[in-house]
Amino acid sequence: MSGKKKSNWFKAHNNDFYVRLSKKNDYKSRAAYKLIELEEKFSLIRGSKNVLDLGCAPGSWLQVLSSFPNLISIVGVDRLEIDRIQGVEFFRYDISDLSLLDLLTKKFNSKFNLVLSDIAPNITGIVDVDQANFASVTENVLNISNKLLEIDGNLIIKQFNGPRLKEISNLLEISFKKIEVFKPKSSKKNSSEVYIVCKGFKDC
């Protein structure tokens, strides 16, 4: 990014309503408001005891989760380090690493009521490549949630609203009773991200 473009980006970022709100409320990022909106609409956190947050850094979703007194365990995974949050168990791993799946399965087999994934692969701007990268993230998230979700558990997974969204929704429909696509107001309008809310993990 050129110097001018960078300074325009910072100006727009600092003027962003949700950036200002997250600074005021001490959230690590504006992403907190996406989870808050997801919860307002779907009430999946308040009905859970154990939650796994994949791609959790810098940790604003973990902060939101920590404010729910009904949660017994909150587990976060990211390939980047995070500042530790009280009451959160963190694992620094890439989600494609099979030893993560092994470790989590041994520790938490079928324990989670809710799995979250806010992972976005690096965006290239080439729609086909970006969709394929999202497909590979989806496959890894599904491998993990298939092992770790309890029957009737739920999954919220970030995706691109592109040509392969339907295909991915169809794939998720195999494992879940109900699928809904949701775009929070706090998600930037010019971003094609959406969240697929998958309810009722089936015993396939």
Ligand X SMILES: C[S@@+](CC[C@H](N)C(=O)[O-])C[C@H]1O[C@@H](n2cnc3c(N)ncnc32)[C@H](O)[C@@H]1O
CB of 35 to ligand X, least distance (A): 7
Q: Which is nearer to ligand X, 94 or 173 (CB)?
A: 94
CB of 46 to ligand X, least distance (A): 18
List of E strands, 93-192: 112-117, 149-160, 176-182
Residues tagged active-site: 158
Q: Which is nearer to ligand X, 60 or 145 (CB)?
A: 60
Computed from CA positions of residues 31, 37, 42, 47, in that sequence, does the dihedral angle turn out positive or negative?
Answer: positive
Give the whole-angstrom CA distance, residue 52 versus residue 132.
24
Note the residues at the interface with ligand X (CB under 6 A): 28-29, 31-32, 55-61, 78-80, 94-96, 118-121
CB of 177 to ligand X, least distance (A): 25
Q: Which is nearer to ligand X, 13 or 177 (CB)?
A: 13
Give the whole-angstrom CA distance, residue 113 versus residue 139.
19
Task: Point out the residue whose Cβ comes nearest to ligand X.
Answer: 55
Cβ contacts of 186 within 8 Å, gap of 6 or more:
18, 30, 33, 34, 36, 37
